[in-house]
Amino acid sequence: MSVATELAKTPRLVRRKLGEKLLDCFERAERNGLAYTVSINQQDNSAVVILSSSKSREERSQILYKVSAMAYCKYNLTKVVGFATEPLDTLLRSYDVILLSNVEFTNRDELIEDSKKAFGTISEAKFYEFFNLPDKEIK
């Protein structure tokens, strides 16, 4: 199972919302050097972690792993897809990805404790799409 396969399974509206979250992370990372968001899909007990950081690629990969592992443990998920990249103001761009699926962590309790400081409150997102517009002309 690959990260690309997992992202391809994501419905179009959810991908659009993830794109908005990615842009938000880019902007916050330009200001703060680091930004991330966790988007949870309760239907299949999974999440997507989006991270943007101006740190070195090695540091960014380590942070992505930690944030993904914290989300996996805190929310008792079965799968987390994570990806990270530089903020918008960088000239060159690289991407790092991770897939955690059906894994166990020996430091689970520590990750859950760390997540209390790292994550804010979870808000539910609602998606709407309108296909059938009235035939009347809008004036």
List the beta strands (DSSP E) in the chain: 34-41, 46-53, 79-85, 95-101
Domain of residue 92, CATH code? 3.30.70
Report the pLDDT value the prediction gives residue 92, as an integer from 0 to 100: 84
In a domain, 83, yes or no: yes
Report the pLDDT value the prediction gives residue 75, as an integer from 0 to 100: 94
Which burial class, exposed, middle or buried, applies to 67 when counting CB atoms under 10 A from its CB (0-12, 13-18, 19+)? buried
Mean pLDDT of 52-81: 95
pLDDT for 55 beyond 50? yes
In a domain, 120, yes or no: no
Note down the domain range covering 88.
3-115
- What span, in angstroms and rounded, lies between the C-alpha atoms of 34 and 8? 26
